């Protein structure tokens, strides 16, 4: 369950991330769904995006970032 802390702001590195603004979750760049920080394992350092799972991460990688993913 997500707390009421709100979204965090992270800087994504190749193998870890840095918390810039504390919060309890980030939003998936593809689906817009919240991802609790303690379960976040997919992100792109290149695009500075978080992903809910492998499917979203792969779609974003192939498309060149989540803004290019066909969400229809």
pLDDT value for 5 = 84
- Supply the pTM of this predicted model: 0.86
pLDDT value for 68 = 85
Does residue 49 form part of some domain?
A: yes
Does residue 3 form part of some domain?
A: no
User: How many distinct structural domains can be found in the chain?
Assistant: 1
List, in order, residues 6 or more apart from 1 with CB less than 8 Å away: none
Q: DSSP class of residue 31? A: T
Tokens found for residue 45: 């350092």
C-alpha–C-alpha distance, residues 62 and 6, integer Å? 30
Does residue 17 form part of some domain?
A: yes
Does residue 2 form part of some domain?
A: no
Range of the domain at 64: 9-68
Q: pLDDT per position in the chain (72 positions), as tens?
A: 455 689 999 999 999 999 999 999 999 999 999 999 999 999 999 999 999 999 999 999 999 998 888 765
Does residue 53 form part of some domain?
A: yes
C-alpha–C-alpha distance, residues 50 and 46, integer Å? 11
Cβ-in-10-Å burial (0-12, 13-18, 19+) of 34 comes to middle
């Amino acid at each position: 369950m997500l707390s009421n802390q709100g979204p965090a702001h992270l800087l994504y590195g190749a193998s870890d991330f840095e918390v810039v603004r504390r919060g309890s979750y980030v939003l998936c760049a593809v689906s817009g769904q919240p991802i609790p920080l303690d379960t976040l394992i997919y992100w792109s350092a290149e695009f500075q995006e978080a992903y809910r799972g492998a499917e979203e991460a792969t779609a974003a990688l192939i498309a060149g970032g989540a803004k290019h993913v066909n969400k229809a």
